[in-house]
A and B are shown apart, each in its own frame.
Chain A
Amino acid sequence: MRKVAVVGVGETKFSAAQEKTSVELFAEAAMEAITESNLKPKDVQALFLGNVLGDFSEGQGMVQVFAAENIGCRNIPANRYEGACASASMAVRDAFMWVASGFYDIVLAGGVERAAAMGTALATRTFAMSSDSRYEFPSGITFPALFAMLAHLYAARYGIPIDKLKEQMATVSVQSYHYGMFNPKAHLRKEVDVEAILKSFMVSTPLQLHDCCPFSDGAAALILASERAAKKLTNRPVYITGVGQASSGPLANQQDYLPRLQAREISSQQAYNMAGVKPKDIDVCELHDCFSIASLIAAEGLGFFEYGKSGEAWMKGEAAIGGKVAINPSGGLKSKGHPIGATGAGQVYEITKQLRGEVEPERQVDGAKIGMTDTLGGDGGTLVNMVLRCGW
């Protein structure tokens, strides 16, 4: 297998409902990545694109072929990936494998979504399509409801009084909002305190509005290149040194692990083993905080903190910049936003910028050498992890 580097990245602002089409959004992110890589569209050999809801948000299936043609990548193979919120990470992982295998030298990977444009009712319905439609949707399951059930289960399993857990979860949101304040590409840019969080609308007990990420519009794109190609294009390649992906079935059938998510534990072990690193080696991690409780579960599944102890870690600043591991300095899904088909590529964008030392000083993890991404789709149905490392 060959080494594979991220040589250029691009991202639109993540936002509330806006008027650009999915093709336009992705075109902007893609050209930023291609230009930053000192390449031209004709140099791109294949496109791997995450997109979940284009069929519903704009009646557009097969967005990948229109995106490829639109940016001048004529007639290249173009694949669409759908794994709910993990779609773009699946696309990046597959792109990685094709370059690693030697089949391609230069590929474009990323994702695009117009989730905000759909409005809350339709977005809630379509997000629920990633739960079991025949056996669990009849009960009225929604994306917040499933993480709400995990929150109650987490409190019961680890013997944490629910009020204490809610305070811990609020601390997670406070930190994410704080870093997002300094990220010009973030969707929600405001300081929010614990009191405001605990007063916000109750979406699905115990999760309140500020425990939940927003529906966002946005796109992100990366150019992946073989080591040889990368060395000609940049003196600051960021290598993808480990990848992992795993799946699980319906929520109730994950009974032996809940509130842990087995797919994450399998996927992250694959990524750690391949990269030859351990959780303690990770300087910065963008993890899947679709809900505040999801951050706690993720940080434990990735091995950063003991089971049931993540909330305390956040409260002690161990998940902040300067702590044990800097988690979500982009603002995470909570503040940066969650254009679901693009989210994973947005995480790789952030880690690449962090390792290059190119983000705003208020949220830069100084001297970061090794970063990680964690992207979850559905109710733990798909998990993708990546480890990235400075190549200079």
Chain B
Amino acid sequence: MEYKLAFKDYNEALKRNELLGLKCRECGTITVPPKMACRKCASLDMEVIKLMGKGKIQTFTTCNVASEGREDELPYIILLVELEEGAWIMGNLAGTDPTTASMELIGQKVRMAEGRVFPGDRYSAGEGTSPVFRIEA
């Protein structure tokens, strides 16, 4: 059975600042990142949709220790965002100083600003893209 929204296509869209997901035709749940089966009811009947890229910060951290080869990115903020469509997604936060990021971030409304490409390292199978959010004015 063919995979409906493969990593490659999801990733290409994210690089264009377009967030794709899958909408379940049986239960309506949005699955993101893409999977073979609905994350709620395991139905295979899902359609590819474009998500708004808007949501609310659920949690965050300012990371001061990076993986080998990614030290230049420090310090950076990682987030879990609850999208308006209901799914949570991991991403980064731009436009906020990582060194002063505090609990006040939680609950703030954010909008996806760009897809930031991690070019990959010797262990990864090529590049991957992180959705980068900004606090909504």
Please name the residue on chain A nearest to B126 by beta carbon.
A134
Query: Contact at A122–B61, with CB atoms within 8 Å?
Result: no
Please name the residue on chain B nearest to A149 by beta carbon.
B59
The listed residue (A121, A132, A255) touching B67 by CB distance below 8 A is A121
User: CA separation between A151 and B106, bound complex, in Å?
Assistant: 12
A21 close to chain B: CB less than 8 A: no
Assuming A138-B128, A150-B59, A251-B80, is B64 touching A203 (CB within 8 A)? Answer: yes
The listed residue (B62, B123, B130) touching A125 by CB distance below 8 A is B123
User: CA separation between A332 and B103, bound complex, in Å?
Assistant: 29
Tell me the smallest distance from the CB of A294 to a CB of chain B, in Å. 14
User: Which residue among B7, B67, B87, B125 has the maximum number of chain A CB atoms within 10 Å of its CB?
Assistant: B67
The listed residue (B71, B80, B117) touching A149 by CB distance below 8 A is B80
Please name the residue on chain A nearest to B127 by beta carbon.
A138
A142 close to chain B: CB less than 8 A: yes
- How many A residues, CB 8 Å from partner? 43
> Interface digits, B117-131 against A, CB 8 Å rule (1 contact, 0 not)?
110010111011111
- How many B residues, CB 8 Å from partner? 47
Binds B, one of A152-160, A295-303, A308-316: A152-160
A-B contact count (CB 8 A): 131
B68 close to chain A: CB less than 8 A: yes
Within 8 A of A (CB), among B19-74: 33, 35, 39, 58-71, 73
User: Which residue among B64, B76, B117 has the maximum number of chain A CB atoms within 10 Å of its CB?
Assistant: B64
Assuming A137-B118, A152-B60, A252-B80, is B65 touching A124 (CB within 8 A)? Answer: yes
Residues of A near B69 (CB, < 8 A) are: 121, 125
Query: Contact at B80–A129, with CB atoms within 8 Å?
Result: no
Assuming A134-B128, A205-B101, A253-B39, is B68 touching A139 (CB within 8 A)? Answer: no
User: CA separation between A141 and B70, bound complex, in Å?
Assistant: 11
Residues of B near A149 (CB, < 8 A) are: 59-61, 78-80
A38 close to chain B: CB less than 8 A: no
The listed residue (A124, A129, A133, A140) touching B130 by CB distance below 8 A is A140
Query: Contact at A142–B80, with CB atoms within 8 Å?
Result: no
B13 close to chain A: CB less than 8 A: no
Residues of chain B whose beta carbon lies under 8 Å from any beta carbon of chain A: 7, 11, 33, 35, 39, 58-71, 73, 76, 78-80, 82, 87-92, 101, 103, 106-107, 116-118, 121, 123-125, 127-131
Residues of chain A whose beta carbon lies under 8 Å from any beta carbon of chain B: 120-122, 124-125, 128-129, 132-142, 144-145, 148-153, 155-156, 162, 201-207, 249-253, 255, 258
